Chain A
Amino acid sequence: MKNEFLYFALRNRKLRLGLSVVLFFLLLTFVGPLLTDYDPWGYIGAPAQPPSAEHWFGTTTFGQDVFSQFVHGLGPAFLVGALGGGLATLIGTAIGFVAGYRGGWIDEILNMLTNIVIVIPTFAVLLIIAAYLEVRSFFIEAVFIGCTAWPWTARAVRAQTLSLRAREFVDLARISGMRASKIVAFEVAPNMMSYLVMVFILQFGGAILNAATLDFIGLGPTTGISLGLMMNYAVLWGALQLGMWWWFVPPGLAIALIVGALYITNVGLDEVFNPKLREK
């Protein structure tokens, strides 16, 4: 079984492409800061310089090194992605399992909760949070994303749980006297492992994109640097009008590439997990 999975995984071009891009940026997150001595916040050079041997991605209006900001901004992006995406996956899966397996009134209440979270205007809540919290961290951003992004996962997991629950092996587990929590953990969940991995990848990409959006419109963290914040500053200080493409293109492109690569990875995984899609 495992070998067959590896066999198809290694031969899937989408999976290989997606994973290499993601791994490249992940590597850059760790190696990047070693390649530059510049402080991402330091005013270290002439302002508004295009890329050169000295400053690989040029400098900002204030003479900050864009490459240094870029490589330091990658880390928070992945962190928020992993944390926010992980949290959303966790909440969504837990609610989906309980709603799908227990059914009845518990299902109806959880369904209602899911629908409420879907219709809550996220930005309004964010504005309120922004007004109350003067200092916001990446951690709070990730938690916020995690707490608002789970509903579709809950719905999908609930639907899958419902269909698995009707299978006879679940009945067999029940007449073996297994507890409900044990049945979900050891009978239902293992059947959805591949699906849960894909859910996490999608949530991961979604969280990165969400965080970038929040940062960009100025509702992001008030400290630190991130790709979204870089774009926020670039636009604030008129990089677009001044034609300083090197300020906003690298962070924008990186976000697009990372998120895109994650989606491609997901499609590739889907093909690997689902034998029906293997044949063209």
Chain B
Amino acid sequence: MALKVEGLRVYYQTLRGDVRALDGASFSVGDGEIMGLAGESGCGKSTLGRSLILLKPPMKYVGGEVLLDGDPLPIWDRERMAPYRYKKVSIIPQQAMNALNPTRKIGRLIRELLEARGVSSRDLLPELKRRLDLVELSHEVLKMYPIELSGGMKQRVVMVISTLLDPSLLIADEVTSALDVSTQKRVAEMLVGFRDHKFVRSMIVITHDISILYQIADSILVMYAGKLAEKGPTEAIVRRPRHPYTQLLISSLPEIGVRHTERRLSGIPGSPPPLLEPPQGCRFRERCPVAFDRCREEPPFEELAPGHLVACWRAHG
């Protein structure tokens, strides 16, 4: 198991109290596995991703543990996490376009980053160039300032930088959301390429778009309102979803070739509950078309079939 997360709880501190953005997550990601992490905005998926890298205020570690390649990750301690960051766990942030220091040329930026971690940049240069080729960037970018690159190019530069030290785990946070369909496809394929070339051992791809995950992920984890709703192999999640939320999420996607006059698709009515004081029991209860009395109790996140876990009383029957 590359990554194992047990009962992880991370809250946001606000003046009005704690926002329970991530309220108990237990899952694992295997070696060479690309796990998709899906859900609506505010469901806690980015909180989960970020907490594995840099847990800083207003984020607050509440409980749970994280094992990476068998070693516990001290995610609650920013100083002790420093040696793991970038070398063992790395992230392509949501706003990757703005992550680059505008006053440095890309080449110098990379050199400084590597030297800060005690790695000789000269030794890595051939590898760096090979990887730039892989993401279809010319070596000229090393001599350019971030401002000279387009958004999509910057994104790919950040992808190369964040995986340069071959981390065990890469977290890609909404990296495809702001892109055109065509660039989106290439970037998603590049992520798979990174795994195939063993630049990263395993990967968590965070997105709200399940159809991208269907293309590249081995497994999909669906979150709702700070809780895990369903996890399973990609085919099972897309073809045979068991959680009503997953079912609605998938049926709300515009199907290719369908016109509104032929078949009207529908979204999920209502909106997620406030996480400042989340309701007891299943958090999807209020929007769920098949909710019943038992949903006042919290459903356990349990295995239905090998590798397919669901938190829903109906599914467990």
Interface size band for A = under 10
The secondary structure that dominates the A interface is helix
1/0 contact trace for A1-28 toward B, CB 8 Å? 0001001000000000000000000000
| A7, B58: Cα distance in complex, Å | 16
The answer for the CA separation of A279 and B78 in the assembled complex, in Å, is 14
Chain A residues whose CB sits within 8 angstroms of the CB of B269 once the complex forms? none
Closest Cβ of chain A to B301, distance in Å, is 33
Partner of A7, one of B15, B56, B57: B15
CB distance from B31 to the nearest CB of A (A): 37
**How far apart sit A4 and B58, CA to CA, in the bound complex (Å)?**
15
Question: When the two chains form their complex, are residues B57 and A4 in contact, meaning their CB atoms are under 8 A apart?
Answer: no
Contacts of B56 in A (CB 8 A): 279
List the B side residues contacting A279 at CB < 8 Å: 56-58
A7→B56 CA distance, assembly (Å): 22
Chain B residues near A4: list those with CB within 8 A: 15
B58 contacts across to A, CB distance below 8 A: 279
A residues 248-280 in Cβ contact with B at 8 Å: 279
Q: What is the CB-to-nearest-CB distance from B78 to chain A, in angstroms, rounded to a whole number?
A: 12
Cβ distance B282 to chain A, nearest Cβ, rounded Å: 33
Which residues 186-237 of A sit at the B interface, judged by CB distance below 8 A? none
* List of B residues within 8 angstroms of A7 by Cβ: 15
Q: Determine the distance from Cα of A7 to Cα of B15 in the docked complex, in whole angstroms.
A: 9
- In the bound complex, CA of A241 to CA of B223 (Å): 78
Chain B proximity of A238: nearest CB distance (Å) = 51
Q: Mark B46-73, 1 if CB is under 8 A from A, else 0.
A: 0000000000111000000000000000
C-alpha gap A78/B176 in the complex (Å):
56
Query: In the complex, A279 Cα to B15 Cα: how many Å?
Result: 14
Select from chain B the residue with minimum beta-carbon distance to A279.
B57
Give complex CA distance A7, B16 in Å: 12
How many angstroms between the C-alpha atoms of A59 and B56 in the bound complex? 58
Question: Hey, which chain A residues are within 8 Å of B57, CB to CB?
Answer: 279
The minimal Cβ–Cβ distance linking B59 to chain A, given in whole angstroms, is 11
- List the 5 shortest-distance A-B pairs measured between CB atoms, nearest first: A279-B57, A4-B15, A7-B15, A279-B58, A279-B56
